[in-house]
Structure 1
Amino acid sequence: MAEEVHGAEGGSSLSFHPMDQFIVQPLFGDGPVNAFTITNVTFWMALTVACIAALLILGTRGRALIPSRIQSIAELAYGFVYKMVEDVAGKDGLKYFPYIMTLFMFIVMANFLGLLPMAFTTTSHIAVTAVLALAVFLAVTIIGFVKNGAAFLGLFWVSSAPLALRPILAVIELISYFVRPLSHSIRLAGNLMAGHAVIKVFATFAAVAAIAPLSILAVVAIYGLEVLVAFIQAYVFTILTCVYLKDALHPSH
């Protein structure tokens, strides 16, 4: 929805659209977006994958005893996610570390690239985050049944609760389980979309001379916050994945 800001001088107005930055558009030309159209989303997702490959493959191929900055970042990321999986999902969860590491690196890199000027934040789209969340949901569900068989259903049966309450709690647990992909995806997309929209609003107000200094200060402050949010949201998505994996590996309450 368009907004108008009236300038302090001359009564001129400034029209802006904070949500236009999230519109999916063809990368070449102005035609409609079809199933196989190369879009801005396609480009920034491909760039995300290229940056991850450059960091984790090219940046560490030397394996120097005194690591370069890129190698240090790659090793810190590896150790951070490895420790997270081990602490949350346990030793049994380490066999799924490659997938969780890939998930974390894609999200955090996409989040950080989205902070570049004129960039497109792919993880602000529910279509992207929903696919990631559904992949996690299906993976942990399949792992749960493969590893535990029918005993996986014990995840929904709270044996520590009074017998009369167990059926009610089982229904609640079942509903909350199937809501996981929805909350998992909306949390990531919603936080990034909201932050980028607020930055756009304050950046537009910076064009109004009377409040430009305050607007610039607000943009700098919010941008700094968004850098933190970009990492935190990747961390939250990943650690929730580890929690869901732990439930699949050890379903009994």
Structure 2
Amino acid sequence: MATEAQGAEEGGLVFHPMDQFIVKPLFGMGEVGAFTITNVTLWMALTVVCIILLLVMGTSRRAIVPSRSQSIAEMMYGFVYKMVEDVTGKDGVKYFPYIMTLFMFILVSNFLGLLPMAFTTTSHIAVTGVLAMMVFLAVTILGFVKNGIGFLGLFWVSSAPLALRPILALIEVISYFVRPVSHSIRLAGNMMAGHAVIKVFAAFAAIAAISPLSILAITAMYGLEILVSGIQAYVFAILTCVYLKDALHPAH
């Protein structure tokens, strides 16, 4: 701590790449409470507004020759619909609106987080954890509603030798309850890591000797983050489809 303070006083480079993930009140400087409007609240609201503008307002005047917004909306719709149908089958298509909502929320949140001075809501485990837990509970409840006690067949590997089935069943149960953890950490971790690296390169851009290299690194990382933003939304949605398939057809 003393070294950092001394470096700051002497004009050294002191930066904190994780400061961009701090949740702050939008109005005032008080503590963050359960009902405090924060920067997270603002950017989640902007995400919802952008989705409405794209999917609702952008397709309100549908035409045979589509506009740009209609083309993007139709492309997103077709992409997610085909993914749901291919993974879950015809039985899972009725749950398409839920998966479409998840995909669009994560995708738009990820892209908005790339804007200067923006806040990446999907970099917080509190946000991704809620999304993952909603999927976990919905799939589990649906599994029991659709299959009754037969849903437990998901954990019983009938194709394995009889002596190994109890051990495999225990492994399957553990992996099932770990799903929301891995589902949420994968998204939050990837978004946080990429933004932190960009912030580190941006801090070095102030040093004249390495400024060109830093700018090139930032550009490359931004391109990579654009790719990661889309991939992570896709991964979250397709894993949801896989879990939904297990709920609809639990037998191994």
- How do 1:79-118 residues align onto structure 2 when only pairs under 5 Å count? 79-118=78-117
Identity across the alignment (%): 80
- How do 1:188-199 residues align onto structure 2 when only pairs under 5 Å count? 188-199=187-198
Per the alignment, residue 147 of structure 2 pairs with 148
List runs of 5+ in structure 1 lacking aligned partners: none
| CA deviation vs aligned residue, 1:98-142 (integer Å, no higher than 9, x gap) | 000000000000000000000000000000000000000000000
Computed over aligned residues only, the root mean square deviation of the Cα atoms, in angstroms, reads: 1.6
Q: Is the 8 A contact 1:26 1:37 kept in 2?
A: yes
| CA deviation vs aligned residue, 1:37-61 (integer Å, no higher than 9, x gap) | 0000000000000000000000000
Per the alignment, residue 32 of structure 1 pairs with 31
Per the alignment, residue 210 of structure 1 pairs with 209
Per the alignment, residue 173 of structure 2 pairs with 174
Tell me how far 1:14 sits from its aligned partner: 1.6
Per the alignment, residue 73 of structure 1 pairs with 72
Per the alignment, residue 244 of structure 1 pairs with 243
Q: Is the 8 A contact 1:206 1:216 kept in 2?
A: yes
Tell me how far 1:29 sits from its aligned partner: 1.0
| CA deviation vs aligned residue, 1:141-183 (integer Å, no higher than 9, x gap) | 0010000001000000000000000000000000000000000
Structure 1 or 2: larger helix share?
A: 2
Per the alignment, residue 231 of structure 2 pairs with 232
Per the alignment, residue 157 of structure 2 pairs with 158
- How do 1:51-62 residues align onto structure 2 when only pairs under 5 Å count? 51-62=50-61
- 3-state SS of paired residue (2:251): coil
When normalised by structure 1's length, the TM-score is: 0.96
Tell me how far 1:12 sits from its aligned partner: 3.6
When normalised by structure 2's length, the TM-score is: 0.96
Count residues with an aligned counterpart. Answer: 249
Distance 2:248 2:191 in 1: 31
| 2:135 matches 1:136 | yes
Q: Is the 8 A contact 1:3 1:17 kept in 2?
A: no
Per the alignment, residue 124 of structure 1 pairs with 123
- 3-state SS of paired residue (2:72): helix
Tell me how far 1:3 sits from its aligned partner: 7.2
Amino acid at match of 2:84: V
Distance 1:98 1:74 in 2: 14
Q: Is the 8 A contact 1:126 1:185 kept in 2?
A: yes
Any runs of at least 4 consecutive aligned residues in structure 1 with deviations exceeding 4 A, and if so which? 1-4
